[in-house]
Chains A and B, each alone.
Chain A
Amino acid sequence: KAGVTQTPRYLIKTRGQQVTLSCSPISGHRSVSWYQQTPGQGLQFLFEYFSETQRNKGNFPGRFSGRQFSNSRSEMNVSTLELGDSALYLCASRGLGHNEQFFGPGTRLTVL
Chain B
Amino acid sequence: DQQVKQNSPSLSVQEGRISILNCDYTNSMFDYFLWYKKYPAEGPTFLISISSIKDKNEDGRFTVFLNKSAKHLSLHIVPSQPGDSAVYFCAADNAGGTSYGKLTFGQGTILTVHP
Contacts and interface: CB of A to CB of B under 8 A. Distances in A.
Nearest to B6: A42
A27 B96 CA distance: 24
Contacts of B45: 103
B93 interface: yes
Interface string B5-36: 00000000000000000000000000010101
Contacts, number: 70
Interface size on B, as a range, is: 20 to 34
B103 A101 contact: yes
Contacts of A104: 43
A106 B93 CA distance: 21
A75 interface: no
Interface string B74-112: 000000000000000101010100111111111110000
Nearest to B105: A43
B89 A43 contact: yes
Nearest to A31: B101
Contacts of B101: 31-33, 45, 48, 50, 55-56, 92, 94, 101
B44 A99 contact: no
Interface residues of A, number: 28
A99 B100 contact: no
Q: Which interface residue of B32, B42, B43, B108 has the most chain A CB atoms within 10 A?
A: B43
Given A35-B105, A43-B91, A106-B42, 14 more contacts: A4-B43, A6-B43, A33-B102, A44-B105, A45-B102, A50-B101, A55-B100, A55-B101, A56-B101, A99-B95, A101-B103, A102-B46, A103-B45, A106-B41
Interface of B: 32, 34, 36, 41-46, 49, 51, 89, 91, 93, 95, 98-108
Interface of A: 4, 6, 31-33, 35, 42-45, 48, 50, 55-56, 58, 88, 90, 92, 94, 99-106, 108
